[in-house]
Structure 1
Amino acid sequence: MSEFFGAPKKSLPAPRSARFSGVALLGPALVAGVAYLDPGNVAANMSAGALYGYLLVWVIVAANTMAWLVQYLSAKLGVVTGRSLPEILGERIGHRWARRLYWLQAELVAIATDLAEIIGGAVALHLLFGLPLLLGGVITGAVSIGILAVHNRRGARPFEHTIVALMIIITAGFVAGLFIAPPDPAGIATGMLPRFTDSGSVLLAASILGATIMPHAIYAHSALTRDRFHAPTAMERQHPDATTPATTAAPSPVTAPAQRIRTLLRATRWDVTIAMVVAGSVNLAMLLLAAANLAGVDGTDTLDGAYHALADHLGPIIAVMFAVALLASGLASTAVGAYAGADIMHGLLHIRVPLLTRRLITLIPALAILAAGIDPTLALILSQVALSFGIPFALVPLLVVTAQRRTLGAFTNRAITTAVGALCAVLLIALNIALIVLTALGV
């Protein structure tokens, strides 16, 4: 690709554009995809399988299909513009109070996200080592600070490597049980038929959707691709006069070389596909594991109960792997959630709070819930329902800005893409309305 960007000077390594090929481009979607494997997903999927068997298999499949489109659009926004969705909305929402109210709902979503992740890590440490939940929450938060320090000191790539390593642990831990006790193929096929049985199944469906298509993942993915493909490298910051035009930061869709953007978008589609296949398979594995082994077993609608039931039915090794995966899930997802929350605040309020400082502040609500003794599994599921109500506030603006030529230039969404995205948004909003109505009627 040197014909597009010019030959690098001998005193410097090859410019980033020359390295924009193959597996070197993968990573941002895998980091964003950790949001799809957080402890809220574990609680929602295990509860769905234990309480309703294979009934909600179709919800996970549908959610993951919609998630592919959503995450690709978010990533494309960061690739083409060099800005995140919160940054663009911070510029477009002109009224100060409107921007603050929008930030408030996004911040509440970020808090709900962090709530699930810290609680999940605390529960995992309790299962593995018998630690009190409050102490487990403090340790989870402390380790997440260490993970974020990797991003602060080493940059995006080492941070991605850390998160992907945790994702491998998550995958192994949640999938292992299926090799010991495979699910029923007929049950899986029946579960692909869209239907509900009561308000409880609607509640869990909304929880699964909130845990799968997570608002903070929509915000974060555009920031991750911005940081990966548009932030100057350490060498470029040290030698700004030696960089070629291809290595300047944040090119606009008008000035950025079209071939470079197309290369990045092709890699991004692969990145998102791999991430969603992994996340979708693991989420489905959780539900199938519970449906095949925990259906009808008392107490399995909680993480603690599921852990002990797995130990009784599949052996202690599978149960320990489950708990280790839950811990890795909490550590990885809480780091990504803090990253997203910091970008939301900076983009919408133009306030830059140090990432580690923000991490300390956002620990408080989760630790307060743990200290109050509220059932952790219930808190996890309700946090995911709260996330499902935040989806439209992230998804609708994403569809609007990616459909505008002034935002993406020649890379604006096709009409069919916008139409499918709009259909997804309508379905999600309709499910939330149905949840409110059914719950109010006590159905």
Structure 2
Amino acid sequence: MTGLGLPKRRPWWWYLGPAFLVSVGYMDPGNWATSLEAGSRYGYGLLFVVTLSSAMAMLFQALAAKLGVATGLDLAEHLRARYPGSFGRFLFLTAFLAMVATDLAEFMGMAVALNLLLGLPLVLAAWLTVLDVFLLLYLERFGVRAVEGAIVALVGVVGLAYMVELYLAHPPLTALLRHAFLPDSTLLDPGGLYVALGILGATVMPHNLFLHSAQVKTRLGEERKRVYRLLLVDTALALTGAWLVNAAILVVAAAVFHERGLAIADLAEAYRTLAPLLGPLAALAFGVGLLASGLSSTATGTLAAQVVVEGFLRARARPARLRLVTRLLAVLPATLALTFGASPMALIVLSQVVLSFQLPFTLFPLVRLTEDPGVMGPMANPPAVRLLAWAAALLVLALNLFLLFRGLGG
């Protein structure tokens, strides 16, 4: 406190961290698979879609951060207060299932990386991922900054891995700049449009919104509008980094696979193809980056599960027990499916179907809460942001439903 009794103004960099936890969800193994397929099949033509999806992600994550800053409550706490009856219990059930589905997609990416790097059987690798729960619990003993620092370090490993890939691939810079910010005729192709919808439709995941609205509460203490402005900087920096990683995955796939007429739709196939084309360093960087992506995204997924349980149930969750329960609920059916021959990518697709069902029950309440002056006070969304948020929410919902029914029909 200052001599006038006001909170001490902290430097801008003190507010960095919450969005970097969230950014992991936008470069998780599921996104890797989508960007690999887009780049290998359609070259640089869908790079603009990655840019557009990243912009939408920034909007929704900014709203989640605003909700936490303006009210001091996270999204799960708001949903419990707003819907105290049976509908509230339904929302909790869908949110918790979404946390399990998210964990399924993310630990499968880590299991694939262990399988590729160390030659471990997929089922054994899947069970070994349970150990990351204990690593996260150990880090939490040193405070939230330690957790944020570890995850930022893992994000740095992912970024470094793709800097190596870009250096080895030598993509044309002029083509990148043109396709990153201008739509391409690829969108007129039915197959290209379908992959583009997959990139856009999988942009927003429920656990990112719950986690961000809760994590920003660790930065409260000063005047709320200043806190939010600085957390917007955090969001912009973190999700710009996620955009660069996703763009790099697509660019490397375009430069390495598409140029040689190779269509890649599987993480393991990409790993095994990189070595003969770019050398063993490229394959190693891919495997290490995938492992770091899976490890960091499973950590944030388990943190989000804790936010959901504590927010909806108003009870302090035992972190070790909760995280083991969510992981076991995901690992048990996954290992059973793998034993009977299911592919890791099939399980990741299944998790996205579950998230598609849950998404409207998270996204629409978030937009509605942040536009309500009774909830947000002077920080309620202005008309322009309100219009943009509803348009983006309806677009994401429509894309998810389209992909869901297309997938069920196919």
TM-score, reference length from structure 1 = 0.84
Using a 3 Å threshold, how does the CA distance of structure 1 residues 299 and 344 change in structure 2: closer, same or farther? same
Return structure 1 stretches of 4+ with deviation > 6 angstroms.
none
Q: CA RMSD in A?
A: 2.3
Structure of higher CA gyration radius: 1
CA displacement 1:226-278 (0-9 Å, x = unmatched): 1x125xxxxxxxxxxxxxxx6xxxxxxxxxxxx62122112111100100110
> Could you say what secondary structure the match of 1:5 adopts?
coil
User: 401-410 or 369-378: which moved more?
Assistant: 369-378
> Is the 8 Å Cα contact of residues 115 and 122 (structure 2) preserved in structure 1?
yes
Instruction: Report sequence identity in percent.
Output: 37
CA displacement 1:149-173 (0-9 Å, x = unmatched): 312x122111111111111001111
Tell me the residue number matched to 1:197.
189
> Is the 8 Å Cα contact of residues 133 and 324 (structure 2) preserved in structure 1?
no
User: Deviation of residue 60 (structure 1)?
Assistant: 1.1
Q: How does 1:406-421 map to 2 (within 5 A)?
A: 406-421=374-389
Q: How does 1:330-345 map to 2 (within 5 A)?
A: 330-345=294-309
Letter in 2 for 1:218: L
Whether 1:136 aligns to 2:104 is no
> Is the 8 Å Cα contact of residues 120 and 327 (structure 1) preserved in structure 2?
yes
> Is the 8 Å Cα contact of residues 103 and 302 (structure 2) preserved in structure 1?
yes
> Is the 8 Å Cα contact of residues 310 and 318 (structure 1) preserved in structure 2?
yes
Using a 3 Å threshold, how does the CA distance of structure 1 residues 273 and 265 change in structure 2: closer, same or farther? same
> Could you say what secondary structure the match of 1:425 adopts?
helix
Letter in 1 for 2:23: G
User: Deviation of residue 428 (structure 1)?
Assistant: 1.1
Using a 3 Å threshold, how does the CA distance of structure 1 residues 39 and 48 change in structure 2: closer, same or farther? same
Question: Which whole-Å CA distance do the structure 1 matches of 2:19 and 2:137 have between them?
Answer: 17
Using a 3 Å threshold, how does the CA distance of structure 1 residues 188 and 54 change in structure 2: closer, same or farther? farther
Question: Which whole-Å CA distance do the structure 2 matches of 1:4 and 1:50 have between them?
Answer: 61
> Is the 8 Å Cα contact of residues 202 and 435 (structure 1) preserved in structure 2?
no
Out of 153, 159, 169, the residue aligned to residue 181 of structure 1 is 169
Tell me the residue number matched to 1:167.
155
Question: Which whole-Å CA distance do the structure 2 matches of 1:167 and 1:132 have between them?
Answer: 26
Using a 3 Å threshold, how does the CA distance of structure 1 residues 156 and 440 change in structure 2: closer, same or farther? closer
Using a 3 Å threshold, how does the CA distance of structure 1 residues 29 and 436 change in structure 2: closer, same or farther? closer
Whether 1:432 aligns to 2:389 is no
Tell me the residue number matched to 1:224.
215
Q: How does 1:357-396 map to 2 (within 5 A)?
A: 357-364=321-328, 365-373=330-338, 374-396=342-364
State the aligned residue count: 401
> Which runs of 5 or more residues in structure 1 are unaligned?
7-16, 231-245, 247-258
> Could you say what secondary structure the match of 1:18 adopts?
coil
User: Deviation of residue 388 (structure 1)?
Assistant: 4.1
Q: How does 1:118-157 map to 2 (within 5 A)?
A: 118-151=107-140, 153-157=141-145
Whether 1:314 aligns to 2:311 is no
Question: Which whole-Å CA distance do the structure 2 matches of 1:121 and 1:405 have between them?
Answer: 43
Out of 73, 77, 101, the residue aligned to residue 87 of structure 1 is 77
> Which runs of 5 or more residues in structure 2 are unaligned?
none
> Is the 8 Å Cα contact of residues 25 and 208 (structure 2) preserved in structure 1?
yes
> Is the 8 Å Cα contact of residues 40 and 383 (structure 1) preserved in structure 2?
no
> Is the 8 Å Cα contact of residues 35 and 217 (structure 1) preserved in structure 2?
yes
Question: Which whole-Å CA distance do the structure 2 matches of 1:47 and 1:127 have between them?
Answer: 19
Using a 3 Å threshold, how does the CA distance of structure 1 residues 436 and 115 change in structure 2: closer, same or farther? closer
> Is the 8 Å Cα contact of residues 49 and 183 (structure 2) preserved in structure 1?
no
Tell me the residue number matched to 1:74.
64
Question: Which whole-Å CA distance do the structure 1 matches of 2:292 and 2:3 have between them?
Answer: 43
CA displacement 1:352-401 (0-9 Å, x = unmatched): 43122121112222343234322112322442354344333222111111
CA displacement 1:180-206 (0-9 Å, x = unmatched): 2133444773574262533x5455444
